[in-house]
């Protein structure tokens, strides 16, 4: 993090050299780590608080607080206000104390984080794809400001979602100048919630309105309310477009969806560029040197229009040498480095490749589930193509623990689309995704078997049981089929147990399962 004093010092230097100033210490700290400072600033100072640890064994500790005190005794910097609370009231008292002292700290904070102290409880509660279940943030109330809504623009994302953005008369909110803010979707503009309930007491938003703005989490600007008394007499209700502003294709809103989406698919320039950015992004193929600006420039020049074109950039070396994404002269070395980075991704990990395709509802965690279940790209593609007409194949997809009807429909629709099929054919001529690496299970008696858990488990949580089975090389499914090898049934088991009995599938009690895998 960057202290306030250092932040002001850095901005004074930048101002003296007529350079763009940082808007807050958070951005300045990020800029320091990414080394985006201009020449005048070479010695920016960052500070560090230890609050956790990565890989490795914590010797003889059973609590988060104990580890932090050990780190502090080992001369790591630990925040002096870390506290061990033993009741909800103590947590809330700590929160209110921080809120009161917030302005006197030498660094920015936007709230506190409550964590379960016992490490064994942390392990039992587990983590989601990006956040732990054993920690939760309690944010301070956001600062607010009033300004004029000067316009509403529509942005089209890589999935075709039409996202409204408020263009605001610039106003300072929490020390940051805000000129744009998210408006979420057409219902939010109309004063309706996701289920049709009124928000802002049903008040809609119109161009020319006086609106209240805040920064959610002290970061994302949002419009929270409107002053009807100050509404111009000529203000008219905003009509959300039903035609994509980029390609002119119909923009439809499916039943139960809050978002309206362009149906243009790969013919929509906005989606093509955004899909390509996603394709090469860090969590997807992670092609170093091919960032947002490069993608936009290469797409504008007609060098890339589909994912396959990324791997054909070597055919355009003359154009690549002519200039880079910012219009500056480039050199052969930088071009060679980019092409080498692209070449290295022809054989990417299967889950990264699946995620890179940008299939709706398929995030990183789901991509890993699909990769592990099907094992190879050929098996995955064949199954997804067949699933549109083969109910058994579709049932197998939905049977994957963590895959539901909505996700399955999205994946099947992606492979059934002719434009996508053509793009995939061209792409597969350029790449060879690696087969998924299956967990090493040694001589586990359940390695390679498909296991279903049903009923109430009494000696472990359902997540613990699934994690243990997968660690031993088993595939965990959410439904019983002819491909199921084992059903583990606890008290209260119902339809799954009945179906397993009809299919002659081996059924185990929780104790029998634990005995089988060696945990009895």
* pLDDT in the model for residue 328: 54
Share of the chain above pLDDT 90, in %: 44
Question: What average pLDDT does the segment 342-354 reach?
Answer: 94
Question: What average pLDDT does the segment 94-117 reach?
Answer: 91
Residue with more model confidence, 473 or 340 = 340
> pLDDT tier at 490 (50, 70, 90 boundaries)?
confident
> Which single residue is written with the structure tokens 């302005």?
103
* pLDDT in the model for residue 265: 65
> pLDDT tier at 96 (50, 70, 90 boundaries)?
very high
Q: For residue 124, is pLDDT > 70?
A: yes
- C-beta separation of 79 from 51 below 8 A: yes
Tens digits of residue pLDDT in 166-199: 999 998 887 678 899 999 999 999 999 978 899 9
Tens digits of residue pLDDT in 400-415: 878 888 889 889 988 8
Comparing C-alpha atoms, which of 199, 102, 179, 88 is closest to residue 142?
Answer: 102
Residue with more model confidence, 18 or 265 = 18
* pLDDT in the model for residue 149: 97
Comparing C-alpha atoms, which of 225, 272, 222, 223 is closest to residue 247?
Answer: 272
* pLDDT in the model for residue 216: 67
Question: What average pLDDT does the segment 357-361 reach?
Answer: 86
- Residue 283 CB partners (closer than 8 Å, separation 6+): 352, 355, 364
Tens digits of residue pLDDT in 459-473: 887 778 887 888 788
- C-beta separation of 149 from 181 below 8 A: no
Q: For residue 329, is pLDDT > 60?
A: no
Half-sphere exposure of 74 (CA within 13 A, CB side): 8
Q: What are phi and psi of 171, to 5 degrees?
A: -145, 145
> pLDDT tier at 51 (50, 70, 90 boundaries)?
very high
Query: Lowest-pLDDT range, 36-40, 184-188, 382-386, 444-448?
Result: 36-40
Distances (CA, A) of 20 to 24, 43, 173: 12, 17, 19
pTM for the full predicted model: 0.56
CA 129 vs. chain centroid, Å, equals 9
- C-beta separation of 403 from 478 below 8 A: yes
> pLDDT tier at 58 (50, 70, 90 boundaries)?
low
- C-beta separation of 273 from 306 below 8 A: no
> pLDDT tier at 37 (50, 70, 90 boundaries)?
low
124: its two tokens:
């039992």
Comparing C-alpha atoms, which of 418, 354, 416, 419 is closest to residue 390?
Answer: 416
CA distance 211 to 167: 11
* pLDDT in the model for residue 520: 41
Tens digits of residue pLDDT in 211-224: 999 886 656 789 99
Q: For residue 35, is pLDDT > 90?
A: no
- C-beta separation of 180 from 166 below 8 A: yes
Half-sphere exposure of 80 (CA within 13 A, CB side): 3
Q: For residue 492, is pLDDT > 90?
A: no
Helices in 79-218 by DSSP H: which ranges? 88-101, 119-125, 186-190
- Residue 36 CB partners (closer than 8 Å, separation 6+): none
- C-beta separation of 171 from 177 below 8 A: yes
> pLDDT tier at 429 (50, 70, 90 boundaries)?
very high
Check the CA dihedral 384-385-388-391 and report its sign: negative
Question: What average pLDDT does the segment 34-53 reach?
Answer: 78
Question: What average pLDDT does the segment 17-31 reach?
Answer: 85
Mean pLDDT, the chain, integer? 87
* pLDDT in the model for residue 470: 80
CA distance 465 to 85: 31
Q: For residue 355, is pLDDT > 90?
A: yes
* pLDDT in the model for residue 57: 65
CA 72 vs. chain centroid, Å, equals 33
- C-beta separation of 402 from 478 below 8 A: yes
For 140-196, list the strands marked E by DSSP.
144-156, 162-173, 176-182
- Residue 191 CB partners (closer than 8 Å, separation 6+): 198, 199, 200, 201, 202, 203, 204, 205
Distances (CA, A) of 62 to 17, 122, 321, 398: 52, 10, 57, 39
* pLDDT in the model for residue 379: 95
- CA angle in degrees (0–180, nearest 5) for 264-267-273: 105
* pLDDT in the model for residue 421: 85
């Amino acid at each position: 993090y960057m202290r306030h004093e250092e932040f002001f010092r850095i901005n004074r230097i930048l101002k003296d050299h007529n350079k763009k100033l940082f808007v807050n210490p958070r951005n300045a700290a990020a800029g320091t780590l990414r080394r985006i400072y201009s020449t005048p600033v070479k010695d920016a100072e960052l500070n560090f608080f230890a609050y956790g640890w990565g890989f490795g064994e914590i010797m003889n500790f059973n609590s988060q607080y104990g580890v932090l005190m050990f780190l502090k005794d080992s001369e790591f910097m630990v925040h002096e206000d870390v506290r061990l609370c033993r009741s909800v009231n103590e947590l809330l008292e700590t929160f209110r104390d921080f809120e009161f002292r917030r302005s006197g700290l030498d660094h920015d904070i936007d709230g506190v984080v409550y964590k379960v102290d016992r490490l064994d409880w942390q392990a039992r509660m587990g983590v989601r794809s990006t956040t732990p279940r054993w920690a939760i943030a309690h944010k301070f109330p956001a600062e607010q400001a009033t300004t004029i809504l000067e316009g509403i623009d529509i942005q089209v994302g890589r999935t075709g979602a039409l996202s409204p953005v408020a263009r605001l008369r610039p106003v300072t909110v929490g020390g940051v100048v805000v000129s744009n803010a998210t408006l979420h979707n057409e219902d939010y503009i109309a004063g309706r919630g996701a289920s049709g309930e009124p928000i802002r007491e049903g008040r809609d938003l119109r161009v020319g309105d006086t609106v209240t703005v805040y920064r959610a989490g002290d970061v994302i600007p949002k419009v929270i309310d409107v002053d009807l008394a100050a509404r111009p007499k000529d203000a008219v209700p905003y009509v959300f477009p039903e035609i994509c502003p980029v390609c002119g294709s119909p923009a439809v809103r499916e039943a139960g969806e809050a978002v309206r989406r362009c149906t243009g698919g790969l013919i929509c320039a906005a989606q093509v560029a955004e899909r390509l950015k996603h394709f090469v992004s860090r969590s997807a193929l992670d092609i170093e040197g091919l960032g947002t600006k490069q993608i936009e420039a290469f797409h504008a020049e007609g060098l890339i229009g589909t994912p396959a074109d990324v791997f054909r950039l070597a055919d355009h070396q003359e154009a690549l040498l002519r200039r880079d994404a910012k219009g500056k002269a480039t050199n052969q070395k930088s071009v060679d480095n980019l092409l080498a980075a692209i070449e290295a991704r022809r054989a990417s990990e299967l889950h990264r490749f699946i995620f890179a395709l940008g299939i709706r509802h398929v995030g990183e965690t789901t991509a890993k589930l699909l990769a592990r279940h099907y094992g190879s790209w050929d098996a995955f593609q064949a199954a997804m193509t067949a699933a549109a007409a083969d109910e058994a194949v579709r049932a197998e997809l939905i049977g994957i623990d963590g895959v539901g009807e909505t996700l399955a429909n999205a994946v099947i629709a992606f492979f059934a689309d002719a434009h996508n099929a053509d793009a995939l054919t061209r792409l597969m001529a350029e790449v060879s995704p690696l087969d998924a690496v299956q967990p090493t299970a040694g001589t586990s008696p359940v390695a390679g078997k498909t296991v279903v858990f049903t009923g109430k488990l009494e000696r472990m949580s359902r997540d613990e049981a699934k994690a243990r089975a997968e660690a031993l090389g088993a595939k965990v499914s959410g439904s019983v089929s002819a491909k199921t090898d084992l059903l583990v049934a606890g008290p209260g088991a119902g339809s799954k147990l009945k179906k397993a009995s009809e299919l002659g599938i081996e059924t185990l009690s929780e104790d029998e399962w634990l005995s089988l895998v060696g945990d009895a």
